[in-house]
Amino acid sequence: MIDIIVIGAGIIGSTVFYELTKQVKNVHIFEKNKQAGLEVSGHNSAIVHSGVDPVPNTLKAKYNLMGQAMYEEYAKELETPFKRIGAFVVAKNDEECKHLDILVERAKLRNIPVKRYDVHDALMLEPNLNSNIKEVLDMPTTAIVDPTHLSAQAVKKGVSLGGQAHFEEHVIAIHERLSHFEVITNFGMYQCKVVVNCGGLYADKIEALVGEPTFSLEYRKGEYIVLSEKAPQTSKRIIYPVPSPLGKGVLYVPTISGRSLVGPNAVDVDDFTPRPILDESVHDMKNKMNQLLDNIAYEYEIDRFVGFRPRVETDDFVIHEHPHVPYFFTLAGIESPGIASAPAIAKDVSTTMLLPALKARRS
């Protein structure tokens, strides 16, 4: 009998698996892809956000702040790259400067170091900023990671502690029994005491295998331009626009690999079927980025990619035990700041929810 099965090896499932294996040896993780972190986790901006942006009194705010504080040591523990490169939020006009006031107030309440610069001082620090901007907010604790590598390392470390990983094996049915679950995959049937649904884009469908879903997912598409590591680096920091209701907007992101990203846009879609990136989408992203940053070496473009983000109507993370199916837990809707929040979600949920549930199930 397996103690705990984790479904999904994105950055959330992988880190949950790793945290559980520190305390419980009989933990298994199932991933339908050939390796960890290939879907939502591997198709985003890969930023460890400072924690300024999330709305107060949300799980996003709680776990972003906790994750940011623990990330550097956590990355060392997992032997995965981590760089604290900082970020500028760029305000182009007086109205956007008012939004910086809100971010500064949140930063004070959350004890996050920030500093405002007028355009003159900002240009001294980042000479390629557009000279027509009004002001910037410096967030020096913002960092970058490689979420795919981090996910793979978390699984690898978990396996070294006694856990078992099942790749290219997907869950097709879950049956609730009196004292356990039967989890059916394309390879066989497994019995376990606790199930943790970290299914990412499929989390609502996984939950539906045990009963009436408690939430539904919406999907938002984000497209990116990738510039070669040979391209001149336009900014040593991440450059953000002032956030909008659709998200953080089109960014410039120096990555761990040395490449740079421009993107994403934000388009609500009905499904997550990959489609070609249209030239007009790329043109629109470039126009938005060029309002913030000059001299971007677009001639070094080497790739484009699309990421899909699973969202819920409440605009917050879903982290709960199913109200009608005890010992079945779901972690869903983990969009931004999901990368920043992952270590904190994994440690907190494992300690306060999953391990106590396993203890209760065993008794």
* Beta carbons of 85 and 254 less than 8 angstroms apart: yes
Residues 6+ apart with CB under 8 A from 280: none
CB atoms within 10 A of CB 305: 17
- Residue 201 in contact with residue 37, Cβ under 8 Å? no
Extract the tokens encoding 234.
């336009």
CA atoms within 13 A on the CB side of 170: 10
Q: What are phi and psi of 231, to 5 degrees?
A: -70, 140
Closest by CA to 28, choosing from 58, 62, 1, 65, is 1
Q: List residues bridging with 184 in a β-sheet.
A: 173, 189
Which residues 6+ apart lie within 8 Å of 274 measured at CB? Answer: 306
Separate counts of helices (H) and strands (E) for the chain: 9, 20
In 3D space, the residue among 36, 29, 31 whose CA is nearest the CA of residue 4 turns out to be 29
Q: Is 149 a catalytic residue?
A: no
Q: Helices 147-160 & 59-78, crossing angle to 10 degrees?
A: 70
Given 49, 149, 166, 322, the catalytic residue: 49
* Catalytic center residues: 49
